[in-house]
Chains A and B, each alone.
Chain A
Amino acid sequence: MKFISEFRRSELAEGLISQIHRQSKTPVRLMEFCGGHTVTIFRYGIRQVLPQTIDMVSGPGCPICVTANADLDKAIALSQIPGVIIATFGDMLKVPGSRSSLQKVKANGADVRTVYSTMDALKIAEADSNKSVVFLGIGFETTAPTIAASVLQAEEKEIRNYYVLSLHKLCPPVIQAILDSGEVKLDGLICPGHVSAIIGSHPWEFIARDYGIPCVVSGFEPLDILQCVDMLVAQIEKGESKVEIAYRRGVRPEGNQQALKLMEQVFEPCPARWRGMGEVPDSGLKLRQEYQRFDAELAFDIALSPAYEPAGCICGDILRGVKTPLDCRLFGKACTPQYPVGPCMVSSEGACSAYYLYGGDFGG
């Protein structure tokens, strides 16, 4: 068992596909919340093998895409403070804020370093105690525990020049906001696998119960997605709405208790700004009072000008599932992965990038 190749076997995929075709009678719209799922769906052409009855729409599950420009501007402003080193995951570099990007300020001399892990950021802080290292805390519940762990490690090792700009986002509250807006009607939800590896499947239950929408947690291989769609269709055709896990090898109903414990020890929920959705209550994480000395927003005076969005970019609407990249008149013309205008084209998990790179499925 290698946990990868087994879940890409085409003969098993064919079985699932024919079962889905046999079962699916009612026209339905399913949303894949997670950008990682969007990539699998496009890379393996999953939309094309599904019956006409199934309409798939991409959701806001790309932490880079949903980071509001006002928050990106904060990261960029921090990089301009003398003595500050910005440590970030690489995917953030090219994302345009209102006036610049981390890549541009880096080219102009700001100390911006790409790290693979928060552990690398801690090492940078330890190696240079005269500088302040600010880690850009961007990510969902999958990533937040790793950042919580870095704060606890910094405390344990008495690293005093390590800070976090906490722009974390929580998934269940934003799905609730999308459903409450009534803008997009959904019949089933493909729940994010690695967010659920941490939080478990229980936090999705309100969607099945209160909104009557079947929820299935999926992994990231093509068989995982097909199995998830099959389980959603089965629920829909039986008139059921419950939470199930298709990704049982990676997700337990109760999640990862240790990760949740560390996350809750360091962070508490707060309102957060989402691109395209505005402020959503309890959908962000801020450092608890005991750990406030790690909070970059409190430690530094961040000078900010008003934020604005790139002209013509409709990422916000795409993230809410209201429009597709094909509705954007810049798509593939003024906006390409090489010269991206908005974050959904920059991020490898953004819907615009998936449409562009794996094309061939321009039916929406």
Chain B
Amino acid sequence: MLAEALILSAILFVIGMLGVLVRRNVIIMFLCIELMLNAVNLSFVALSRFIGIEGQIYVFFVMTVAAAEAAVGLAIIISIFRHYETVDVNNFNLLKW
């Protein structure tokens, strides 16, 4: 049971990672990062069956951090949208990547 859950979490993490690397829309990249964090949450919950309840507590911390990150991240995305009127990273080329 544990192995399946960990493999699923690894697959979700890799999907999120590929999404960040391949997609060019900032909102989608940001959602892929959230997917990566939640894949980790799945690992925490799965492992907590064998190690201890603290794994489930960690998930709450991670969710809080993800919420804080979303607040700041969306604010930054709005601020850049006001300058460029787009959320496609290919257009943000004032600084060389």
Task: Answer yes or no: are A and B bound together in one complex.
Answer: no
Give residues in A with beta carbon < 8 Å to B: none
